[in-house]
Structure 1
């Protein structure tokens, strides 16, 4: 009846197969194909049971989100699900790959579900700022109970088929998908099993109806870290409707919640971020036929915080690592910290009990750079000084095998200058990880002037394998993230000299949605690091220097811009800091003025956007969305604001350019003058998004 959905009869069982690459998304054609073929199978007197399955690598992996915001095309997904649920003949979903979002909602509409062992099932809509809008918040609690449903829906992460089977979401695990589903259909017919319509089965939500704390406790546990996000609470409200109202009324309330979210600024930003991450995978100037070099073993140079975190990322992905240090003591200390980190994660239930031993077995500690000789990828994570980097790369060049990719974890330094110390600059690339490297998802991949396309692809491919989000950037001081951060840091410091206090600046930044403000972040990193750097460069910063001269280095000393109680990391405003700032300003002949929160917010964010415009002008980043991915995954920019460049578009570039020009004049700071690109787009009434190529990643 349609090319993307086919039907064949095998005896008394109709096999309805969706074949719509790459992920069998629920486009209008797929929805129509399912509905037509199920209707035809129900009408066929020879058919006694219907199996719904998918060709290719996965079951239905979700809605076609490219349809969002466009006029709806019939049939509606709820109509498709109703046809499966109301069928007088058993309907069985046969699941492989992933059944996500609308895909799982379709499966929940079937009377039974079978899956292969490695299948995964979930409702990730919350990660797009949405809630499941086709009965997911109503049927999943009825399938697995309220507690697990809250975890799956509010967390957005899929569960594996064995766990799904344990909780009743999957009726049977099968070895071979279609033959197994067909055999299960015959079993259902032979045993005359009643058709289980989840909409009519309240048995698994009865306990939560009787004791509401089951639901509220589950929601409280899942919303601890959802500061600023609307969707998790909307999801909870939709699940609660299923406890309070009959099914059809609750379904209406779920739909109302979905329609409200789909037009919200938060969901638009989160859907933008979803596409932006996929766009970042497209690398300009690299032929599509370029293949990455094979990486069977990696070597990490430096067993400190960064090197250890990078090594753990490789071990987590099952890639053997040689971890290299200059001395036995440093190596032993680094390995010990990694062991403790793994054991602590296992104790919390984050990884299986046997994982620490298995992962540590993949990390081979060695002393001496000669041990890089067997590695296909070598990443140095040593001190951030050019002299040290050059020394290390000269040695690596002598020991590394031909074709090995040589990567620097530098966060600021010139990759081309580092590459020039080797006889193989084509093999050198930057891989800038973020601390803690085993947790943070971003990896800035820095392409040097001579970096070979396959070396670049190797860095990108490996970053994905170790669960990082790679973004390719060009060579400049600080690349994308730290270069923009420097613009913010400069303004944060200036605000102190004009009369703001650290807690006011940090309060505005965290209220905006960032995890930390610049001054709390400085205390966490250690103020002495910047102090030493300023001394080396002959630079003064009177307030920051005065803090360091008073022995206030941040959390490590219990005092910095804030004070910290014994054993606590919570920053507390310190009257001594206010006194020190007043004394410094008096000495410099400066007077404090009242600065409102709006000015602070604009001076924290708009200069970053301005620097982002310069980065685009210089082709350091290929797309505005790449900058946004860097900030979402590397710096904790709130995903519901879509990244600094997306946020700029939502505020309006004309307004931002006008405010920057005002602050440039007010503070006598030429760096705040609107960048030429920003000024041009503002004058033309355009957005940063207008610079992006028109093609979109597949849903």
Structure 2
């Protein structure tokens, strides 16, 4: 039963259970109402305690019910809160673990609250572009104080219950089991004949509420950028201060409904569900058991290898790291320690934690020392010969059942797997640089990769706090295959009349973390050069602007050389426009007979994003990505696509696929127009008036 009730003396203890986070789904809501009515009808019951158990009170709405009929079914959360608020017997909530969103709103509707000191308390709805919709904006300011409530609601960041101990929110902060303390409080309330307080009746006490709200409005407006939710949250909180409770609830409801339809909230909700959906692989059920990973081996102690190692060290997993020369090994260990020391200096970890992590790291020059590793990841040069040498060695020393992974960003994982006698144990783990910081992990599933190998790495990704997305095998996988078309268009724009700073400025203006040329300078322009050289051999029909090659021939590889598409100063990462590069671009246009023209920002944005969309459609058709939302997750987590636009495929849905096709047809008539042949899937969906994704609707 999802909701149970037990009598302790004269106290009815109502416990609800809906793993993993006690979401307030329809069955829970119905059960809470039934249990309340049963307790109210039982003359032996004098008080009621509501608990989510020993670990979790409630994480709020049950996201598994979104887009299902259960969302609309009564009793709603409002109905549950109203019923408990109207109880004629005292109700005490016992919060162990966490109370977020609707879980906290439910607790605000009862008479008394007891929370364990380290319980997480919050209203995170703003992170989905919404505001708390079940009274949170009205009751929390009354219970926790105006300033506390505003900070919690506008930021969406949970706080520890003990930090709110001096407010009216909690009647008792428990150092043990909140349920035991709640039962004890119930006895006290009944014995003393205490009244039944209601948060809705409390006044907000603040020495200068209107002045504080005015100051906050200015600050929030400056900080909220493209997101409308923070100011809408403030509107509702302001109503809690200035209006009677019921009128404030109307303002809250109106704000919630308005935000529900904003493109920003739709994009944020899409991103939220897309990330969770990415972790689920259709053909891998609960019957597939992951392998145990107690120790990891890393081949290569350079920038990528060291960064990859840190992910596992941070998760408490011992790492053996191998290099071919002692000097390379020493340099890698020094860099890892330096990274940790810098974190310690910034207060992100203690000196003891630094030593603890470094103590999990074992350096070696011998492949034999990797024999006890449960998973081995190579992070060597992006060349088949280098990969072949490594995997042939691993095939000899790795124990049976060890997972062998390649950190390749573009190469054929099936070909790499065939360098071993155990292709079923091989897959790709494409970490993004810097690997200890970037969230994205592309997990590349080879044709022979065993299901339990894939399940193991997907579970391990969660443990090391990565957003994992499964990709099939192709050149560049999902992210880099698409970014190549984006980069091609960026180059063609230079040929036709744009300059790097204009292209970057246009795409950054709509929310990208950085434009293609700043991105190239950061990653290293020589990396793209090496890929293009391979393309010239393998795909001679694919055309590129020669400007990027000319740049590399000038030795301008990016920030690491002090010059790339932009000029850089020592110790300064600011990208300064380069007269030398601009002159090279203009001369190149003349050399190839292209008359330069004025290009507006709209064209720049459309050509860059629609090139991603079209290649994404090919990737979906080929089954490289299982679903469009996986592609969006890759670009949100790894390529700086603005979250409030939902990813390239969601962005195309928002614009309308017929409009995307119309724009592509226009560009097909211009320079390098053969790059604009619509993918069959894109054309099919556009013709049918359909979209890549369906937008999730919250409760």
TM-score, structure 2 normalization: 0.90
1:578 is displaced (CA, Å) by 2.7
CA contact (8 A) 1:279 1:697 kept: no
User: Are 2:640 and 1:636 aligned?
Assistant: yes
1:622 is displaced (CA, Å) by 1.3
CA contact (8 A) 1:147 1:214 kept: no
* Counterpart Cα distance in 2 of 1:287 and 1:37: 35
* Counterpart Cα distance in 2 of 1:74 and 1:600: 49
Secondary structure of the residue aligned to 1:421 is coil
Q: After TM superposition, list the pairs within 5 Å mapping 1:164-203 onto structure 2.
A: 169-170=169-170, 171-173=172-174, 175-176=176-177, 178-190=179-191, 197-201=198-202
Q: Which residue of 2 aligns with 1:283?
A: 281
* Counterpart Cα distance in 1 of 2:245 and 2:344: 40
After TM superposition, the structure 1 stretch with the greater mean CA deviation from structure 2, 580-589 or 254-263, is 580-589
Q: Which residue of 2 aligns with 1:660?
A: 664
Question: Paired residue for 1:26, among 21, 24, 27?
Answer: 24
1:397 is displaced (CA, Å) by 1.5
* Counterpart Cα distance in 2 of 1:521 and 1:553: 12
CA contact (8 A) 1:505 1:517 kept: yes
Q: After TM superposition, list the pairs within 5 Å mapping 1:89-238 onto structure 2.
A: 89-116=89-116, 119-146=119-146, 148-163=148-163, 169-170=169-170, 171-173=172-174, 175-176=176-177, 178-190=179-191, 197-201=198-202, 205-206=206-207, 211=212, 215=216, 219=220, 227-238=225-236
Q: Which residue of 2 aligns with 1:13?
A: 11
Q: Which residue of 1 aligns with 2:373?
A: 375
* Counterpart Cα distance in 2 of 1:339 and 1:493: 39
Secondary structure of the residue aligned to 2:428 is strand
CA contact (8 A) 1:142 1:201 kept: yes
* Counterpart Cα distance in 1 of 2:260 and 2:697: 19
After TM superposition, the structure 1 stretch with the greater mean CA deviation from structure 2, 268-277 or 38-47, is 38-47
CA contact (8 A) 1:49 1:90 kept: yes
* Counterpart Cα distance in 1 of 2:619 and 2:87: 57
Secondary structure of the residue aligned to 2:513 is coil
After TM superposition, the structure 1 stretch with the greater mean CA deviation from structure 2, 51-60 or 157-166, is 157-166
* Counterpart Cα distance in 2 of 1:73 and 1:472: 35
Name the CA shift for 1:212/1:564 in 2 (closer, same or farther; >3 Å): farther
* Counterpart Cα distance in 2 of 1:513 and 1:396: 43
CA offset digits 1:383-437 (Å, max 9, x no partner): 2222111111111111111111011111111111111111111111111111222
CA offset digits 1:179-232 (Å, max 9, x no partner): 443233224445666655444445675476665588569858xx85x5433323
Q: Which residue of 2 aligns with 1:591?
A: 595
CA contact (8 A) 2:391 2:416 kept: yes
Q: After TM superposition, list the pairs within 5 Å mapping 1:68-467 onto structure 2.
A: 72-85=72-85, 87=87, 89-116=89-116, 119-146=119-146, 148-163=148-163, 169-170=169-170, 171-173=172-174, 175-176=176-177, 178-190=179-191, 197-201=198-202, 205-206=206-207, 211=212, 215=216, 219=220, 227-352=225-350, 354-467=352-465
CA offset digits 1:658-698 (Å, max 9, x no partner): 322332232343232011222222223222237x9xxx999
User: Are 2:633 and 1:622 aligned?
Assistant: no
Secondary structure of the residue aligned to 1:172 is strand
Name the CA shift for 1:535/1:411 in 2 (closer, same or farther; >3 Å): closer
CA contact (8 A) 1:313 1:466 kept: yes
Secondary structure of the residue aligned to 2:577 is coil
CA offset digits 1:555-609 (Å, max 9, x no partner): 2344322233553323233444333322221222221112222221111111211
* Counterpart Cα distance in 1 of 2:200 and 2:114: 19
After TM superposition, the structure 1 stretch with the greater mean CA deviation from structure 2, 272-281 or 28-37, is 28-37
After TM superposition, the structure 1 stretch with the greater mean CA deviation from structure 2, 660-669 or 371-380, is 660-669
CA contact (8 A) 2:213 2:238 kept: no
Q: Which residue of 1 aligns with 2:612?
A: 608
* Counterpart Cα distance in 1 of 2:351 and 2:185: 35
How many equivalent residue pairs? Answer: 690
Name the CA shift for 1:31/1:298 in 2 (closer, same or farther; >3 Å): same
* Counterpart Cα distance in 2 of 1:227 and 1:590: 39
CA contact (8 A) 2:117 2:173 kept: no
CA contact (8 A) 1:506 1:517 kept: yes
CA offset digits 1:65-84 (Å, max 9, x no partner): 54579785444433433443
CA contact (8 A) 1:208 1:214 kept: no
Where do 5+ consecutive residues of structure 1 fail to align?
none
1:534 is displaced (CA, Å) by 4.5
* Counterpart Cα distance in 1 of 2:207 and 2:109: 20
Secondary structure of the residue aligned to 2:227 is coil
Secondary structure of the residue aligned to 2:574 is coil
Name the CA shift for 1:404/1:198 in 2 (closer, same or farther; >3 Å): same
* Counterpart Cα distance in 2 of 1:214 and 1:350: 31
Name the CA shift for 1:391/1:154 in 2 (closer, same or farther; >3 Å): farther
Where do 5+ consecutive residues of structure 2 fail to align?
538-543
Name the CA shift for 1:532/1:625 in 2 (closer, same or farther; >3 Å): closer
Secondary structure of the residue aligned to 1:14 is strand
Q: Which residue of 2 aligns with 1:492?
A: 490
CA contact (8 A) 1:298 1:319 kept: yes
Q: After TM superposition, list the pairs within 5 Å mapping 1:681-696 onto structure 2.
A: 681-689=685-693
Q: Which residue of 1 aligns with 2:540?
A: none
CA contact (8 A) 1:22 1:56 kept: no
* Counterpart Cα distance in 1 of 2:596 and 2:641: 30
